[in-house]
Amino acid sequence: MDLLPGFQRFLQGLGAVTTAPTFASLVTIVTGWVLSGRGTVTRMILAAGPSATKHFSSYHRVFSTARWSIDALGLAVFEMAKPLLGDIVMLGLDDTLARKRGLKIFGTGMHHDPLSSTRSLAFLRWGHSWVVLGVIVELPFRPGHHTFLPLLFRLYLNRKSAAKHRRSYRTKPQLAVEMLKILCGDEKTRRFHVVADSAYGGQSVLCHLPENCDLTSRLLLTARIYDATPPRCEGTNGRPRKRGLRLPSPGAMLEGRCRRIAVSIYGRRHQARMNDAIAHVFAAPDRPLRVVASEAIGGGRGREAFYSTRHDATAEQVVTWYAMRWSVEVTFRDSKQHLGVEEPQGWTKASVERTAPLGMLLHSLVVLWFVAEGFRHWRPLDCPWYASKSEPSFADMLATLRRLSVRMEVSKMALRGRGARKLATLLENVVALAA
């Protein structure tokens, strides 16, 4: 079974960074992945059906031994996403846990499990920890709603796993900076703006940002912030000052008089007390930041502090930028639930570093196809309990791609008779429900 020609046109953009035999196998794998929603190669082969003409080991070798780069595929997907990008490209940066079983799988280790953990008790889980960088776009048919498209990936090895595989240990922020330099270096004429949580808001990222990239992240309420360095007076002895006078911490900024602001974030109207200032943090005294302290009114998220290297921005803009980060979590959930990104069974280094990232890139390709032509064919299911639903989710996008692909295959059969149309409709509905 083949996918729609419209979707295959997006796959053609990946052919320039792979060899012809690898690309042919890759198209079959992607076809099976879309139709099955499972992350195992054997299920992809079964779902692809007659289009899988090679020996099954050939498809396994696409991940284990074939010569292609997952970074090159990510940059190729970035080229396809350019029509959705603005003058400033918004980037999302975060890490996610893919749970695994088995001691011989490359790169596995004990990592923090955010789903099982609570604020008072942290749990660890065996698996892979992926650091992911991608673009945050606003879809034309969902104004005000942002979607994260993964592009670049790095597998984080904890100290024990790095020593086991004889590799130098690198922190998650170091891996994030490496990916930022790859993307920003490939597009030097563009301006980027990355949003990330506090794990990537420290000096390891802030002090090593590419020149064409800004950062918005969280800040501790007790953080030390300073005024700009005063000019040096003539005749003064000693070394020049590196920092200005110490300013009130973000928590202390909320003790004084604040503005009451209403912003639309996280899908609802949010009211808070806010105070902001231009300040410098201890680790980067030469870089001015817009520091924002926020306190929710009537419950909500409590007290929070944010900062942005866009020191000319307003407090509302900084908070709105940081709220875009939630789209990263939504994409992680959709990739795991609907594409089985946690399911790949490969255990060698090459297989591990390629399979799960390819699944997340497939998520980006499905969204780009849906924006280009799939939305015109979207047909919401008749669900009375979802009477207020008017916008498609990723599950709807995937179901639309499957339904149209089945319709194309059925039309090739040239069915005739009284029940031909009913049979085609039945098959489309079954596929839509399976998604």
> What are the pLDDT digits (tens) for 230-245?
888 887 888 888 899 9
Buried b (16+ CB within 10 A) or exposed e, 130-156: bbbbbbbbbbeeeeeebbbbbbbbbbb
Q: What are phi and psi of 409, to 5 degrees?
A: -70, -40
Nearest in space to 81 (alpha carbons), one of 329, 366, 355: 366
- Count how many residues are written for the chain: 435
In the 3-class helix/strand/coil scheme, how is 189-204 assigned residue by residue?
CCEEEEEECHHHCCHH
For residues 98 and 118, what is the distance between their CA atoms, to the nearest angstrom? 19
Burial (CB count within 10 angstroms: exposed 0-12, middle 13-18, buried 19+), residue 236: exposed
What pLDDT is attached to residue 241?
A: 86
> What are the pLDDT digits (tens) for 91-147?
999 999 999 998 899 999 999 999 888 888 999 999 999 999 999 999 998 888 899
Nearest in space to 97 (alpha carbons), one of 56, 133, 125: 125
Those residues with Cβ within 8 angstroms of residue 182's Cβ, 6 or more apart along the chain or in another chain: 71, 75, 152
Number of other residues whose CB lies within 10 A of the CB of residue 265: 17
What pLDDT is attached to residue 269?
A: 85
For residues 344 and 358, what is the distance between their CA atoms, to the nearest angstrom? 11
What pLDDT is attached to residue 206?
A: 96
Nearest in space to 158 (alpha carbons), one of 194, 123, 131: 131
What pLDDT is attached to residue 239?
A: 85
Q: What is the DSSP string of 10-75?
A: HHHTTGGGS-HHHHHHHHHHHHHHHHH----HHHHHHHHGGG--S-HHHHHHHHHT----HHHHHH
pLDDT < 50 regions, the chain: none
Q: What are phi and psi of 348, to 5 degrees?
A: -80, 165
Burial (CB count within 10 angstroms: exposed 0-12, middle 13-18, buried 19+), residue 52: buried
Helices (H), 217-348: 250-253, 315-323, 326-339
Amino acid identity, position 232: R
For residues 239 and 425, what is the distance between their CA atoms, to the nearest angstrom? 79
What pLDDT is attached to residue 254?
A: 94
What pLDDT is attached to residue 432?
A: 59
Number of other residues whose CB lies within 10 A of the CB of residue 430: 12
H-helix or E-strand spanning residue 261: strand 259-265
What pLDDT is attached to residue 187?
A: 94
Those residues with Cβ within 8 angstroms of residue 275's Cβ, 6 or more apart along the chain or in another chain: 253, 254, 256, 257, 258, 259, 292, 293, 315
What pLDDT is attached to residue 59?
A: 95
What pLDDT is attached to residue 353?
A: 96
What pLDDT is attached to residue 120?
A: 86
64, 350 Cβ separation under 8 angstroms: yes
For residues 259 and 169, what is the distance between their CA atoms, to the nearest angstrom? 45
